[in-house]
């Protein structure tokens, strides 16, 4: 049995990915913000596939959480499960897509929203008790993640937790398959690496955990919910081991 149960049938999952890659080989890659703007009206229906993962989120944050940084927040569906448990929570929500942020602002008027690339933003030191990313970071390379994770470690208060709820690769073969496909498509379409496009390049749990531990976090695998896996990455308190 695998240490991490990501997919019930990895072989079938890989077969489906190969078929999808073949079918979509000639399709142009879309800019990240444009992809979500076009699909705004269908976004929430699609994301509610992971309603069990949303419901579980409060269990993974510190009991006394006051300040949360939400990266790739979309329309804020994840906050629907958090505010009933943390009614006084102060949330800073970041996303590239303006229409998504506008919908979040209509839903939660108290949330501070920031439009932009969360890799390019500065985060104040020890400003948050929690950081959340839900189904967003699987679009980005390990190098980009490593730098971000180090900054998230610094912006968390000691004892704070980064909850990564994301699409993880079931095996190294899936990781290699998707990363290779993106590299070929970028080259074929002459898209530079720094341009943000929508394409899934998930990492295995082992690789994600290694990146998080490299930033100083103490990491636990909390389980998978219909393809969304949850890792909890805690910044140790002063004097605690990693």
CA distance 101 to 115: 8
Rounded to an integer, the average pLDDT of 4-21 is 93
Q: Name the residue ranges covered by the structural domains of the chain.
A: 30-53+66-156+194-236
Is the pLDDT assigned to residue 105 strictly greater than 90? yes
CA distance 232 to 222: 7
What does pTM read for this prediction? Answer: 0.95
Q: What pLDDT is recorded for position 6? A: 86
CA distance 2 to 31: 35
Q: What pLDDT is recorded for position 2? A: 58
CATH of domain 30-53+66-156+194-236: 3.40.50.150
DSSP state for residue 141 in the 8-state scheme:
-
Q: What pLDDT is recorded for position 1? A: 39
- Token pair recorded at residue 13: 């999952």
CA distance 140 to 120: 13
pLDDT band at 109 (very low <50, low <70, confident <90, very high): very high
Q: What pLDDT is recorded for position 101? A: 97
Could you give the residue ranges of the DSSP H alpha helices within the chain?
10-23, 32-38, 40-47, 51-56, 79-82, 98-107, 142-155, 172-189, 205-214
Is the pLDDT assigned to residue 242 strictly greater than 90? no
Is the pLDDT assigned to residue 226 strictly greater than 90? no
Q: How many helices (H) does the chain have, and how many strands (E)?
A: 9, 7
Q: Which residues contact 223 (CB under 8 A, 6 or more apart)?
A: 5, 229, 230
The torsion angle over the Cα atoms of residues 188, 190, 195 and 200, rounded to 10 degrees, is: 0
Q: Which residue has the tokens 């000691």?
A: 158
Residue 161, by phi and psi: left (phi above 0), alpha (psi -120 to 50) or beta? Answer: beta
The answer to whether 61 and 161 are in contact (CB under 8 A) is yes
CA distance 18 to 21: 5
Please report, rounded to a whole number, the percentage of residues in the chain having pLDDT higher than 70. Answer: 98
């Amino acid at each position: 049995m695998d240490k991490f149960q990501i997919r019930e049938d990895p072989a079938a999952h890989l077969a489906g990915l190969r078929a999808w890659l073949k079918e979509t080989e000639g399709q142009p890659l879309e800019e990240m913000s444009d992809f979500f703007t076009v699909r705004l009206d269908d976004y929430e229906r699609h994301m509610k596939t992971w309603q069990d993962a949303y419901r579980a989120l409060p269990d993974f944050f510190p009991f006394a959480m006051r300040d949360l940084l939400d990266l790739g927040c979309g329309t804020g569906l994840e906050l629907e499960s958090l505010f009933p448990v943390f009614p006084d929570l102060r949330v800073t929500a970041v996303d590239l897509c303006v229409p998504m942020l506008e919908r979040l602002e209509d839903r939660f008027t108290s949330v501070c929203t920031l439009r932009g690339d969360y890799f390019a933003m500065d985060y104040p030191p020890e400003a948050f008790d929690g950081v959340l990313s839900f189904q967003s970071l699987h679009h980005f390379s390990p190098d980009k993640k490593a730098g971000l994770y180090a900054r998230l470690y610094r912006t968390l208060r000691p004892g704070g937790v980064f909850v990564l709820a994301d699409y993880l690769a079931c095996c190294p073969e899936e990781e290699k398959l998707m990363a290779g496909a993106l590299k070929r498509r970028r080259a074929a379409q002459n898209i530079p690496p720094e341009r943000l496009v929508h394409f899934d390049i998930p990492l295995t749990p082992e690789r994600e955990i290694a990146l998080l531990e490299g930033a100083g976090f103490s990491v636990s695998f909390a389980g998978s919910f219909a393809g969304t896996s949850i890792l909890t990455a805690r910044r140790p308190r002063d004097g605690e081991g990693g």
